């Protein structure tokens, strides 16, 4: 009989859990980096579009030259 009444947990699963957690952290980091890159790319495209529209607006607002 065991004096404490508890069963010892096998130490084999602990490294597996660590490896799995490390993989999850790595995958989460990669996802965040990808999302950040996509956001920056979208921001660049939207800024260019905004500038084009502003330029067109300025051209329309100028009085015609004679």
Residue 9 is assigned to a structural domain of this protein: no
pLDDT at residue 43, as a whole number: 98
Per-residue burial over 25-63, b = 16 or more CB atoms within 10 Å of its CB, e = otherwise: eeeeeeeeeeeeeeeeeeeeeeeeeeeeeeeeeeeeeee
CA distance 10 to 12: 5
Global pTM value: 0.60
pLDDT at residue 8, as a whole number: 64
pLDDT at residue 49, as a whole number: 98
CA distance 49 to 55: 10
Tally of structural domains, the chain:
1
Per-run averaged pLDDT (10 residues), the chain, 66 residues: 60 74 95 98 98 96 79
Residues in the chain: 66
pLDDT at residue 32, as a whole number: 98
pLDDT at residue 6, as a whole number: 67
Residue 61 is assigned to a structural domain of this protein: yes
Residue 43 is assigned to a structural domain of this protein: yes
């Amino acid at each position: 009989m065991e004096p404490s009444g508890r069963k010892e947990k096998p130490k084999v699963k602990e490294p597996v859990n660590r490896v799995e957690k490390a993989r999850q952290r790595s995958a989460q980091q990669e996802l965040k980096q990808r999302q950040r890159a996509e956001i920056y790319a979208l921001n660049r495209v939207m800024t260019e579009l905004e500038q084009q529209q502003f330029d067109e607006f300025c051209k329309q607002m100028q009085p015609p030259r004679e």
